[in-house]
C-alpha cells in the first residue's frame, strides 16, 4: 500500500514533536503508512530575522502572515511532486466532517498550512489553497491544534493503522448518526447493570439494539444529523 505523505507548514514546528512520535500518528509513521514532514515557515522568512508576518494594510489589531514565505515553501513542494490538496485550516472554512476525512484518507499527498497571528494574506488563499477546512465554530491561537485533529481523523482511517480494522468503520458519523452506548466487564458496577441483551449472545438482536440506541442518542443529542421525518416517527412510536 502506498504511503500517505502529509507536509505541514507551521511557524512553530516543534509543536508537533511529541504527537508525531507518540500515539496513533507515531504508530502509523513507524508502520510506514504515513509520512508526515513538518516545515518551519521561518526557514523561508524575509531578512536577517526571517520575518514571516507584518501589520495589516488599512490598520487594525494583530499581524498578518506574509505571502512571500508561504509561496516559496508551497511552490517548492509543488515542484517536487503532485499534491491532491493544499489545505488551509480556518474558522471560515468548510466544516470538517467524517465524509471529508474518509475522502482525504484515500489520497496520496497533502499539504496543510497552519495559520497563525490574526490572519494570512488573502493572496495565499486565492492562489495556493485548494481546500479550506474548519474544525468548529471557535478560534484558537493557531492552526497547529486543528492540523493535529485533521491528521488524526484522516490517518486512523488508513487500513492497518488501527489494531481492529472494523473499529473506524463503526465510529460516530460513519453511518450519519452518533455511535451507540458501549459496555465492558464487570456486568454490574455500583448497582448499574449492563443491558441484558448485550450478554445474550444473540448477535442479530444485539445489532438491532445498537442501531436503535444509536438512533435514540442521535435524536437526543444531535437531531440536526437526521431527517425530520425520522424524528417525528420516533416521537410517535
What CA–CA distance (Å, rounded) separates 9 from 73? Answer: 8
Q: How many helices (H) and strands (E) does the chain have?
A: 8, 10
Q: Enumerate the known binding-site residues for S-adenosyl-L-methionine.
A: 115
Distances (CA, A) of 216 to 63, 167, 179: 47, 21, 10
* pLDDT tens across the length of the chain (237 residues): 689 999 999 999 999 999 999 899 999 999 999 999 999 999 999 999 999 999 999 999 999 999 999 999 999 999 999 999 999 999 999 999 999 999 999 999 999 999 988 999 999 999 999 999 999 999 899 999 999 999 999 999 999 999 765 455 556 567 789 999 999 999 999 999 999 999 999 999 999 999 999 999 999 999 999 987 666 666 666
What CA–CA distance (Å, rounded) separates 129 from 1? Answer: 27
Choose among 118, 141, 113: nearest CA to 57.
118
Q: Is the pTM of this model over 0.95?
A: no
Bridge partners of 114?
89
State residue 231's pLDDT score.
65
Distances (CA, A) of 178 to 43, 44, 213, 220: 43, 43, 9, 10
- Relative orientation angle of helices 23-30 and 144-155, to the nearest 10 degrees: 60
Distances (CA, A) of 7 to 82, 108, 163, 176: 12, 11, 25, 30
Separation of CA 122 from chain center: 23
State residue 203's pLDDT score.
97
Domains of the chain: 4-155 (3.40.1280.10), 172-236 (1.10.1270.20)
User: Is there a cis peptide before residue 186, judged by omega within 30 degrees of 0?
Assistant: yes
Q: Enumerate the known binding-site residues.
A: 115
Amino acid at each position: 500500500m502506498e504511503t500517505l505523505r502529509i507536509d505541514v507548514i507551521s511557524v512553530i514546528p516543534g509543536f508537533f514533536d511529541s504527537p508525531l512520535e507518540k500515539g496513533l500518528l507515531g504508530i502509523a509513521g513507524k508502520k510506514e503508512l504515513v509520512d508526515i514532514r513538518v516545515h518551519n515557515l521561518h526557514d523561508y522568512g524575509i531578512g536577517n530575522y526571517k520575518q514571516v508576518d507584518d501589520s495589516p494594510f488599512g490598520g487594525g489589531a494583530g499581524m498578518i502572515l506574509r505571502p512571500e514565505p508561504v509561496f516559496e515553501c508551497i511552490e517548492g513542494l509543488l515542484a517536487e511532486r503532485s499534491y491532491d490538496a493544499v489545505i488551509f485550516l480556518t474558522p471560515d472554512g468548510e466544516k470538517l466532517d467524517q465524509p471529508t476525512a474518509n475522502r482525504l484518507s484515500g489520497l496520496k499527498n497533502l499539504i496543510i498550512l497552519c495559520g497563525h497571528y490574526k490572519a494570512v494574506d488573502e493572496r495565499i488563499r486565492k492562489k495556493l489553497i485548494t481546500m479550506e477546512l474548519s474544525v468548529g465554530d471557535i478560534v484558537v491561537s493557531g492552526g497547529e491544534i486543528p492540523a493535529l485533529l485533521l491528521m488524526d481523523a484522516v490517518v486512523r482511517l488508513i487500513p492497518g493503522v488501527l489494531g481492529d480494522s472494523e473499529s473506524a468503520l463503526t465510529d460516530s458519523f460513519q453511518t450519519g448518526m452518533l455511535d451507540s452506548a458501549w459496555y465492558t466487564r464487570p456486568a454490574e458496577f455500583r448497582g448499574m447493570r449492563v443491558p441484558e441483551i448485550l450478554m445474550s449472545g444473540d448477535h442479530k438482536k444485539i445489532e438491532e439494539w445498537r442501531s436503535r440506541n444509536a438512533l435514540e442518542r442521535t435524536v437526543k443529542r444531535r437531531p440536526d444529523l437526521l431527517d425530520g421525518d425520522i424524528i417525528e416517527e420516533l416521537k410517535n412510536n
